[in-house]
């Protein structure tokens, strides 16, 4: 059996090696390392794929979130609401820009931001909501947009884990994750569903004026060369990464299908098990399985992780600590017990290997190992 990893980028690369190697060597031969034609080429492809007017490439997903907030003109002291159950980057940029991160609890089934909790968290200082499409499934975007329009708020989608997922509206129409709010953000970190071979990110919007401002902010706040009307940042996707992403974007839907096949294998092994809850599918989204995350019941989750390690099955805890319990983000307004769903998930979730290259032998070994522990 091939060695099992959380993410197997090596075998994925081997299948597309000639195309990737050619794309990289073309960039090197052109020496257009920054803002070369490869960047524009990928940007155009991604705009088409997402069905959005503007894709602004940038250096990583964290920058995408930061630049989006800067371009929207959110001011220090303003409140930005986000989910308590996410990767730290989401809250980090809010705090870094001098805004107040306001965290809310999540839906116990989808792990995504709970609309009722968002409503309760709104104050006169609230300026934006940042839903995160966690683990590859869209948050309840119709609810987010309705709340936002009632209270005149911006919606910034953190689609770092869900590129390629479809949000399915009540009327049956579909839009890609990250293209529904005022602005969407994604990451091309290697382990993400669309990952490059280094760091990368992008921002999406249909708003022409906002797109113009996003391009100014990523480029040192520069409106005309060497005239700086705004304080900006330097955040670029380099040409080599764009060339890699162009090759992989053409396969993104196939990659999602491979992830779904692995998820179905896991589902079939664990469905209806009294100690394991398989991922609940949200009826308003399809799933691109950035992670396959089980909720455990009545077992020592950390002991399960150690047992799996002894069987050479890696497993990860995404995420062990809610934002409001992170040392750097402690806030006198929040205490332990305030976010019962998030806190319960942090104690009970475990994510199994999930990538595009999992084969039957590996899936059989992983599921048998999990069942050996939980049935013991």
Residues that bind ligand PLP (CB under 6 A): 60-62, 86-87, 89-90, 132, 158, 160-161, 187, 189, 199, 201
Q: Nearest to residue 351, comparing CAs of 289, 307, 272?
A: 289
The smaller minimum CB distance to ligand PLP, of residues 90 and 369, is found at 90
The smaller minimum CB distance to ligand PLP, of residues 187 and 296, is found at 187
In whole angstroms, what is the distance from residue 376 CA to residue 204 CA?
48
Give the three-state DSSP class for 359: coil
- CB 90, min distance to ligand PLP, A: 5
- CB 154, min distance to ligand PLP, A: 17
Burial class (CB in 10 A: 0-12, 13-18, 19+), 304: buried
In whole angstroms, what is the distance from residue 371 CA to residue 373 CA?
5
The smaller minimum CB distance to ligand PLP, of residues 58 and 276, is found at 58
Strand ranges (E), 225-291: 227-228, 276-277
- CB 324, min distance to ligand PLP, A: 17
Count other C-beta atoms under 10 Å from residue 272's C-beta.
7
In whole angstroms, what is the distance from residue 323 CA to residue 88 CA?
7
- CB 158, min distance to ligand PLP, A: 5
The smaller minimum CB distance to ligand PLP, of residues 132 and 325, is found at 132
Q: Examine residue 172 and say whether the peptide bond preceding it is cis (omega within 30 degrees of 0).
A: no
- CB 187, min distance to ligand PLP, A: 3
Query: Which residue, judged by CB position, is nearest to ligand PLP in the bound state?
Result: 61
Give the three-state DSSP class for 74: coil
The smaller minimum CB distance to ligand PLP, of residues 87 and 265, is found at 87
The smaller minimum CB distance to ligand PLP, of residues 36 and 184, is found at 184
**Which sign, positive or negative, has the C-alpha torsion 246, 247, 253, 259?**
negative
- CB 363, min distance to ligand PLP, A: 24
């Amino acid at each position: 059996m091939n060695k099992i990893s959380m993410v197997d980028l090596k075998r994925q690369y081997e299948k597309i090696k000639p195309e990737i190697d050619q794309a990289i060597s073309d960039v090197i031969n052109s020496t257009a390392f920054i803002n070369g034609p490869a960047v524009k080429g990928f940007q155009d492809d991604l705009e088409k794929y997402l069905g959005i007017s503007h894709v602004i490439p940038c250096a990583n997903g964290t920058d995408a979130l930061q630049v989006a907030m800067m371009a929207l003109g959110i001011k220090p002291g303003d409140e930005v609401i986000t989910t308590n159950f996410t990767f730290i980057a989401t809250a980090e940029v809010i705090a870094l820009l001098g805004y107040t991160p306001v965290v809310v609890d999540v839906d116990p089934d989808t792990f995504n931001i709970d609309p009722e909790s968002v409503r309760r968290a709104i104050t006169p200082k609230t300026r934006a909501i940042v839903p995160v499409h966690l683990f590859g499934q869209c948050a309840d975007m119709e609810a987010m947009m309705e709340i936002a329009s009632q209270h005149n708020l911006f919606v910034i989608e953190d689609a770092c884990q869900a590129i390629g997922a479809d949000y399915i509206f009540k009327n049956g129409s579909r839009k890609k994750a990250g293209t529904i709010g005022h602005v969407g953000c994604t990451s091309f970190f290697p382990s993400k569903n669309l990952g490059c071979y280094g760091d990368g990110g992008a921002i999406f919007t249909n708003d022409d004026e906002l797109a113009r401002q996003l391009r100014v902010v990523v480029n040192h706040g520069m409106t005309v060369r060497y005239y700086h009307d705004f304080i900006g940042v330097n955040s670029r996707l380099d040409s080599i990464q764009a060339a890699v992403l162009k090759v992989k974007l053409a396969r993104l839907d196939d990659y999602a299908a491979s992830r779904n096949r692995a998820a179905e294998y896991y589902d079939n092994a664990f469905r209806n098990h009294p100690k394991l809850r398989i991922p609940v599918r949200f009826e308003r989204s399809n799933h691109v399985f950035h992670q396959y995350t089980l909720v455990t019941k009545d077992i020592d989750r950390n002991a399960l992780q150690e047992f799996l390690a002894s069987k050479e099955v890696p497993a990860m805890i995404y995420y062990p600590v809610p934002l409001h319990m992170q040392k750097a983000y402690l806030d006198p307004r929040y205490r332990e017990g305030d976010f019962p769903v998030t806190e319960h998930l942090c104690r009970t979730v475990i994510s199994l290997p999930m990538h595009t290259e999992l084969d039957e032998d590996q899936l059989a070994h992983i599921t048998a190992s999990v069942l050996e522990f939980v049935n013991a």
